[in-house]
Structure 1
């Protein structure tokens, strides 16, 4: 196995490019001096990285009236991240539906498409429905697949780094599915597969309710309950990547099933989907004792 050292120029270029991009995405536009201050990189390094990013179409020089107060003398050059330089595609795979969401490179949603799917559907049937949702979304948005920079996929279960679902009790034929490999055949860009609750936690940290904190717990309620957690801004996966599989605790004899815990009657809640869970929470807000106990 080869070693990567601090002097590896290819590695350093990628790291420096990522650091500068992160800085530019966090502001409307910035001068080279401001980028240096935020990143801690030297001026020659910042100049080289910005030039490379401009050649790649990810950064552009801002107009003179963008993001700055006019001063006497020659104004400093300002640069901005080009969120319009491509698109991101988010895919959600669940027991009862599949969904696709299209955004620019800054996460601004441009369109979405969902399709219902039977919870007993095979893996092939579920993936066919997902591909159909993607095709319909891109067609309606007038976006070519070649403009996609990355595809993110949220799925129930424990997911390995290569996109293989190592274990999933929520979907038929899902355990052992090489999901990343299967979906990569439909795209020319990187396809990143993540546990759905982990993906939701990352999304809330980036654009949602958790932007102001690096320590987050996100609980995903539904047919396959799960949790995603960030500690210090980094995903906490636990041993074997199973840290958030709270819906599977009953398989280990630890407590009642989610269907029993969320029931407001003497029968297990079925189907345990988003609508059913939402109804339990609505009853709890109205003061229903059994619903309140179920939520607690």
Structure 2
């Protein structure tokens, strides 16, 4: 088997290109002299790499700013990373809505689209609704489908590494669906599929409540809560992608099912959907005794589910997201119970991204994929963390 060595020309070219591109992207722009200083590469090497990146469309010479004071002699050429050289999609396929975010290669969102979908819709109808939302967003933004570099997708259920939904109780016909394979037919770029709570955890770590924490549990609170966790800043999926499925804890016989917990009668709540549950919470706000008892049971159940995960993972921070974030009095009981059950209670916060968390996390997954292509090289070498001046 052939060995890659430090002198392998193709490996060196990939390393040098990644280092220069990383430096330019981090700084916004830079001259050849500045890039040489930051990367530690020789000037001839930097000149060759920049020329190659310009031919690839990833770097462009930055035009001189109008009105800027001109120095004596010809000003040094400045170059920048072309974030507009490609685009990314973050797609949330949920029970009641489809949400799409369009961004450039810096992850800056340049367009968004949402579509309602009936929670009883079959898989084909939901897929068609998703394709329609994507097509409408690309058309409005004037972006060709061929310009997409990666698509991140987030959806309820246990998602395997190849994008197959192994189990989903929230979406009809979703269990067993080869979602990644089906969506790949609509795009000419990689499609990455992830569980919705996992995606939301990634989003909160990127630009939400968990931006300064690396050991995090994100709870997507709802009728059947799910959770995503980051350990050392990395998403923890588990062996088969089922880590964080706290909504199944009631199967252990610990407590009643959600439809019983939330019932205000002697019969299970039916149908068990967000509209019916919202009515229960509305009745509780009006002081209805049985509704107040149902809400209390629901909150205690959520608290116990979260406590089980905290005991297993010992996170620094727990972030609560999903529609249950609007429940009055959720955080204090949660903090109190975690202090009661856990050796070291974590901090608890509400999501800063709200309903945008899942689609934002899907977008981050697409961005991670592109960044790995552009900046990660076997034998890893990265630019030194200094700023171009």
Structure 1 partner of 2:132: 132
Secondary structure at 1:284's aligned position in 2? coil
Write 1 or 2 for the structure with the bigger share of helix.
2
Tell me how far apart the structure 2 counterparts of residues 6 and 253 of structure 1 sit (CA, whole Å): 58
**Scaled by the length of structure 1, what TM-score is found?**
0.77
Q: CA deviation at 1:136?
A: 1.6
Tell me how far apart the structure 1 counterparts of residues 86 and 80 of structure 2 sit (CA, whole Å): 15
Which of 328, 341, 358 matches 1:283?
328
Tell me how far apart the structure 1 counterparts of residues 230 and 258 of structure 2 sit (CA, whole Å): 23
Are 1:264 and 1:294, in contact at CA under 8 Å, matched by a contact in 2? no
**C-alpha spacing 1:140/1:174, structure 2 compared with 1 (3 Å):** same
**C-alpha spacing 1:281/1:80, structure 2 compared with 1 (3 Å):** same
Gaps of 5+ in 1: 286-290
Structure 2 partner of 1:271: 273
Tell me how far apart the structure 2 counterparts of residues 255 and 34 of structure 1 sit (CA, whole Å): 63
Q: CA RMSD in A?
A: 3.7
Structure 1 partner of 2:96: 96
Structure 1 partner of 2:55: 55
Q: How does 1:69-108 map to 2 (within 5 A)?
A: 77-108=77-108
Tell me how far apart the structure 2 counterparts of residues 21 and 254 of structure 1 sit (CA, whole Å): 54
**Scaled by the length of structure 2, what TM-score is found?**
0.61
Gaps of 5+ in 2: 279-321, 338-389
Tell me how far apart the structure 1 counterparts of residues 258 and 3 of structure 2 sit (CA, whole Å): 46
Q: How does 1:195-214 map to 2 (within 5 A)?
A: 195-214=195-214
> What do the CA deviations read for 1:265-288 (whole angstroms, capped 9, x no partner)?
576593147x94647734327xxx
> What do the CA deviations read for 1:204-237 (whole angstroms, capped 9, x no partner)?
3333333334333322223553222222222112
Structure 2 partner of 1:155: 155
Q: How does 1:235-274 map to 2 (within 5 A)?
A: 235-253=235-253, 255-257=255-257, 263=262, 270-272=272-274
> What do the CA deviations read for 1:5-58 (whole angstroms, capped 9, x no partner)?
456765665565455444433332234565566667676665554333322212
Q: CA deviation at 1:130?
A: 0.6
Q: CA deviation at 1:126?
A: 0.9
Tell me how far apart the structure 2 counterparts of residues 16 and 257 of structure 1 sit (CA, whole Å): 57
Structure 1 partner of 2:225: 225
**C-alpha spacing 1:292/1:211, structure 2 compared with 1 (3 Å):** closer
Between stretches 46-55 and 165-174, larger displacement belongs to 46-55
Tell me how far apart the structure 2 counterparts of residues 203 and 41 of structure 1 sit (CA, whole Å): 35
Between stretches 124-133 and 264-273, larger displacement belongs to 264-273
Q: CA deviation at 1:131?
A: 0.8
Tell me how far apart the structure 1 counterparts of residues 39 and 258 of structure 2 sit (CA, whole Å): 46
> What do the CA deviations read for 1:174-217 (whole angstroms, capped 9, x no partner)?
22211111111111122111222222222233333333343333
> What do the CA deviations read for 1:229-256 (whole angstroms, capped 9, x no partner)?
2222221122322222222333444555
Are 2:222 and 2:324, in contact at CA under 8 Å, matched by a contact in 1? no
Tell me how far apart the structure 1 counterparts of residues 65 and 152 of structure 2 sit (CA, whole Å): 36
Q: CA deviation at 1:107?
A: 2.1
Are 2:157 and 2:170, in contact at CA under 8 Å, matched by a contact in 1? yes
Secondary structure at 1:240's aligned position in 2? coil
Tell me how far apart the structure 2 counterparts of residues 209 and 40 of structure 1 sit (CA, whole Å): 36
Greater RCO, 1 or 2 (C-alpha within 8 Å, sep 6+): 2
**C-alpha spacing 1:19/1:243, structure 2 compared with 1 (3 Å):** farther
